A and B are shown apart, each in its own frame.
Chain A
Amino acid sequence: MAEKLEDLNLPLTVVGRIVKEALPDGVAISKEARTGLAKAASVFVLYVTSAATNTVKHHKRKALTGQDVLEAMADIEFERFVEPLREALEQYKLAASAKKSAGKKKDDEDVEIVEEDN
């Protein structure tokens, strides 16, 4: 749960690092631009979440899966992210099943609920 309002913002330093990666070397980012991008990203998280929740409801399920997130991207006109996201999901599943076959823990099921809130 979010105890403080700041918990609903994404860390500015991390956002700044991502932006730096996106832009050519030597480009400076104004503080306001960085704050704006971080705010936009927070809202984007909620936007995607709510779109994905709709997909889940549509399928009459309860748990939110990766596939729901993928489908939601098309619903909110972000088709351009679907392909890279699909690849990311493949990789994620691959890594998850590799870990499973390594047999250390019985985790990483689609519906696994991570419950380590800080």
Chain B
Amino acid sequence: MATPKPEKELHLPLSRVKTIMKSSPEVDAVGAESLYLVTKVTELFILDLAKRAFKNSKNNLLEYKHIAEVVQEDDSLDFLREIIPRKITVKQFKELMARKAKANSDDSSEESSSEESSEESDESNQE
């Protein structure tokens, strides 16, 4: 065959992308052509996001916060805002909560509504 199969030029595994697509309750059948395109566009998306995130990096290291910055600033990436949140330290978090509590007790009743702060659990990403 003269030209290589387009599928061969993809990096991401089609089977995995298909599994993800089918995890949507609205989808029952995934055709080969749409599977190919979704995989392709996901690769484009990764390239694009990585390149833009890297512009926020001042040295030769791409870090999580660079990605989070792009996500929070680009409205078309709104769907990722809860997936890739800006990270704050526990100290910042406590200050934020303290400020909130203060604001609450200031404008309304005196009852200190101590919202249980769910500690940010650092996700253990298993390889």
CA separation between A14 and B39, bound complex, in Å?
12
B12 to A10, Cβ gap below 8 A? Answer: yes
Interface residues on chain A, size class: 35 or more
CA separation between A10 and B67, bound complex, in Å?
17
3 tightest A-B CB contacts, nearest first: A77-B76, A32-B64, A66-B33
From residue B41, how far is it (CB to closest CB) to chain A in Å?
5
A27 to B54, Cβ gap below 8 A? Answer: yes
Name the interface residues of A40-66: CB closer than 8 Å to any CB of B.
Answer: 40-50, 52-53, 62-66
B80 to A43, Cβ gap below 8 A? Answer: yes
Name the interface residues of B1-20: CB closer than 8 Å to any CB of A.
Answer: 1, 3, 5-6, 11-20
How many residue pairs at the A-B interface have CB separations less than 8 Å? 215
B125 to A35, Cβ gap below 8 A? Answer: yes
The residue of chain A having its C-beta at the shortest distance from the C-beta of B35 within the complex is A114
The residue of chain B having its C-beta at the shortest distance from the C-beta of A80 within the complex is B48
Tell whether A66 pairs with B42 under 8 Å between CB atoms, given A7-B19, A27-B62: no
Q: List 19 other contacts, CB 8 Å, given A39-B83, A42-B20.
A: A2-B20, A19-B62, A22-B51, A36-B64, A40-B45, A40-B71, A40-B80, A49-B27, A50-B24, A65-B31, A66-B33, A66-B36, A76-B79, A77-B75, A91-B6, A111-B31, A117-B15, A117-B19, A118-B15
**Contacting residues, chain A, for B76 (C-beta < 8 A):** 76-78
**Contacting residues, chain A, for B127 (C-beta < 8 A):** 12
B60 to A116, Cβ gap below 8 A? Answer: no
CA separation between A96 and B38, bound complex, in Å?
17
Q: Can you give 16 A-B contacts (C-beta < 8 A)?
A: A14-B11, A14-B12, A21-B47, A22-B46, A22-B50, A30-B64, A32-B125, A33-B53, A36-B64, A37-B49, A41-B12, A49-B20, A53-B27, A69-B41, A81-B45, A95-B3
From residue A106, how far is it (CB to closest CB) to chain B in Å?
13
The residue of chain A having its C-beta at the shortest distance from the C-beta of B20 within the complex is A45
From residue A93, how far is it (CB to closest CB) to chain B in Å?
8
Specify which of A2, A17, A63 is in contact with B29 (CB 8 Å cutoff): A63
With a 10 A CB-CB cut-off, give which of A11, A39, A88, A107 has the most chain B CB atoms.
Answer: A88
A18 to B43, Cβ gap below 8 A? Answer: yes
Specify which of A49, A68, A69 is in contact with B24 (CB 8 Å cutoff): A49
